[in-house]
Amino acid sequence: MKEVIESGKTALGVEFGSTRIKAVLIDENHKVLAQGNHDWENRLENGVWTYTLDDVWEGFKDAYANLKKDVKDKYGVTLTTIGSIGISAMMHGYMAFDKGGKILVPFRTWRNTMTAEASEKLTELFDFAIPQRWSIAHLYQAILNGEEHVKDITFLATLDVYVHWMLTGEKVAGVGDASGMFPIDSTTGTYDKSYVDKFDSLIADKGYPWKLLDILPKVLNAGDSAGTLTEEGAKLLDPSGDLKAGIPLCPPEGDAGTGMVATNAVRQRTGNVSAGTSIFAMIVIEHALKKAHPEIDMVTTPDGSPVAMVHCNNCTSDLNAWVGLFDEFAKLSGHEMDKNEIFGLLYNNALKGDTDCGGLMAFNYFSGEPITELDEGRPLFMRKPDAKMTLANFMRTHLYSSLATLKIGLDILTREEGLTADVLMGHGGFFKTPVVGQQIMADATGMQVKVMDTAGEGGAWGMAVLAKYMVAKASGESLPDYLDNKVFAGATGSTLDPDKDGAAGFDKFLKDYAKAVAVEKSATENY
């Protein structure tokens, strides 16, 4: 391993998640050599969910420093070179820069639900669903709002595109990430020209000194070269000066794309579901949708295949908050426990609850949720007077609540479009406790759910794999074949089918949930 590290036969993947920045170093066989993490949290400032640029770079440097220390502790080696690097982050959002590289307004993350007017008008103009969190929706909303900064934009980026730009000087995006900025034409592998022309015509009367393609990043495919680490970039990443410039970088990708790679779900009729702070399910489809659905995003795999995605802003935040309450009680009682043990106890007990949760109801909305047409969120728990208020039902309710909005979106794909996946590959914190989240996901979706042993590595590992693929692509192997033959050959995991009673119970819960959306809406209006 020492020789592998010193000779640069490695790949580094870094992913900026919602609550954690994770850096993973892998070897030639895609095995994890070392990792480093940095916890961070977005903040609500002046009604906008954001991270500062200081947050970005302090977190990035800390995660890399922790990885570098891990390498030193394990192998006695100071990390000075890496075979290839890949940067990933939460998709979508809005980072607008002027000609001097200065950010014009605070970073508007995917979590914001402030672009309903733009989303609706663009969806109608394109006859293609443009979700609120997409970069083009944020841009057009800023135009509709008459925001002064728009005329000064010279570059529009997502978070991973921005970080990659700072490291390499290259204004590029992987096709999967770009597909969350503006619609992609899968036949050309870049932005859909007909929609670009429509947008430019739409705003022509504003007299801006730019056209859309002037400010969007160039689109690259998985395996393409995306520049090299500059001297300035190396110092940004490793201020100690140990890391050398010249390292090749692959195209930056969004967390949807790295999730597909991490679960080997890039072929048609494969699907994956990522469940953490947010939750999204993606199915690589065989044909175009019959019509546009506001609840369904059309994005792409990192190699450009069309993907139908159901994305929900909220998943485990409320669930984690309740577990934190039980952790606080355990400490108060003098029985301090490991947090993972508390999760395991509560999650496993949930399986003993009534399959329909016994009349309990919860909404996990920390922020707005477009699928249920809510611009704001209020975490909410309620019950009927005759409900079966047990700990098992309570926890099962919050697990169901984490998946309910996703199921509403998936029903559009399965029932109206006739699309499904042979198997859903699960990854993310929701699956960390064995069996429980996986079984409830299978019951909720009605699909077989598989969790690979590698799924815990997550998006940072998937990004490192994409960085390694860029180096290996010279052999001409496609990304799906590379994953099958080189990365997942011999990989093991567990597969669970839907339980008949569990599925029926979830459907009953979901019918009550749909009715109770009115209560959640009232809470946002009155509290």
Report d(CA 137, CA 120) in Å as an integer.
Answer: 9
**Interior CA angle at 501 toward 500 and 503, to 5°?**
65
Residue 43 — pLDDT band, cuts 50, 70, 90?
very high
Confidence at residue 50, expressed as pLDDT on a 0 to 100 scale: 96
Return the structure tokens found at 366: 């920390």
515 three-state secondary structure: helix
Query: Across all residues in the chain, what is the average pLDDT?
Result: 94
Query: Helices 391-411 & 500-526, crossing angle to 10 degrees?
Result: 90
Q: What is the mean pLDDT of residues 205-214?
A: 98
- Say whether pLDDT at 453 is over 80: no
Q: How far apart are CA 419 and CA 41, in angstroms?
A: 36
Name the residue ranges covered by the structural domains of the chain.
317-398+499-526
Residue with the larger pLDDT of the pair 474 and 218: 218
- Give pTM, 2 decimals: 0.81
- Residue 432 has what pLDDT? 87
Region 122-140: mean pLDDT is 95
- pLDDT, position 456: 57
Model pLDDT, residue 285: 87
Q: For residue 163, give the nearest of 256, 221, 97, 114 by alpha carbon.
A: 97
Q: How many CA atoms lie within 13 A of 369 on its CB side?
A: 29
Q: Position 499: which residue type?
A: D
Per DSSP, the residues of 63-102 read HHHHHHHHHHHHHS------SEEEEEE----BEEE-TTS-
Q: How far apart are the C-alpha atoms of 67 and 479, rounded to whole Å? A: 27
pLDDT tens digits along 307-342: 998 989 999 999 999 999 999 999 999 998 999 999
pLDDT at position 118 over 60: yes
